[in-house]
């Protein structure tokens, strides 16, 4: 689901206003969290670092706000961020997510080094649908009913993924 959301992020030009690179400066780490590490981008194709911040950096966005916050922010940005100049994206709530290329995207990314397991294409759509239904259920529980097959669900999945690997608890090995 995150892969499809990332492609929407690119399609909608979000990286024209939002960077995904927290630089190692106090002013940035105080606002956005831990600075970005090179390894966090190893499987990003293309990189979405960005060089302009009309809007805030999004690299540590994952888990910062609940799904319903992202829903409202995408539909009416000023509702969640008064004074925001971000445009609304209402079509994401009604556009059905095109999954016809998902398997091909996974195959292409594996060929350039992303470690998707061999045969993952066969289960990817099922995993995607499970994740989409979980997000849609959470939104409905919080007063924002959106069908699980909409582009907005994929965008939320992607935003909720940003920066979470660095936040993961280290694995203890014996």
Predicted local confidence at residue 45, as pLDDT: 82
SS3 126: helix
Half-sphere exposure of 24 toward its Cβ, with a 13 Å CA cutoff? 3
Tell whether pTM > 0.85. Answer: yes
What span, in angstroms and rounded, lies between the C-alpha atoms of 70 and 75?
Answer: 9
Residues of the chain with confidence (pLDDT) below 70: 167-174
CATH class as words, domain 2-167 = mainly alpha
Predicted local confidence at residue 147, as pLDDT: 97
Helix 151-161 and helix 67-75: axis angle, to 10°? 120
Predicted local confidence at residue 168, as pLDDT: 57
| pLDDT tens figures, 97-128 | 999 999 999 999 999 999 999 999 999 999 99
What span, in angstroms and rounded, lies between the C-alpha atoms of 54 and 46?
Answer: 21
Predicted local confidence at residue 13, as pLDDT: 93
Predicted local confidence at residue 107, as pLDDT: 95
Per-domain boundaries in the chain: 2-167
Whether omega for the bond prior to residue 46 falls within 30 degrees of 0, making it cis, is yes
Rounded percentage of the chain residues whose pLDDT exceeds 70:
95
């Amino acid at each position: 689901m995150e892969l499809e959301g990332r492609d929407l992020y690119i399609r909608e030009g979000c990286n024209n206003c939002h960077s995904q690179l927290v630089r190692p400066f106090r002013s940035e780490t105080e606002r956005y969290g831990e600075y970005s590490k090179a390894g966090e981008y190893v499987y990003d194709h293309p990189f979405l670092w960005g060089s302009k911040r009309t809007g805030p950096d999004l690299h540590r966005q994952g888990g910062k706000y609940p799904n319903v916050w992202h829903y409202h922010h995408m539909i009416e940005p000023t509702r969640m961020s008064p004074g925001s100049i971000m445009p609304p994206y209402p079509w994401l709530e009604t556009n059905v997510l095109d999954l016809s290329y998902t398997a091909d995207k996974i195959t292409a990314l594996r060929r350039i080094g992303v470690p998707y397991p061999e045969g993952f294409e066969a289960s990817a759509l099922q995993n995607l649908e499970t994740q989409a239904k979980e997000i849609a259920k959470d939104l409905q529980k919080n007063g924002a009913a959106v069908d699980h097959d909409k582009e907005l669900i994929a965008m939320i999945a992607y935003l909720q993924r940003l920066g979470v690997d660095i936040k993961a608890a280290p694995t203890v090995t014996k």
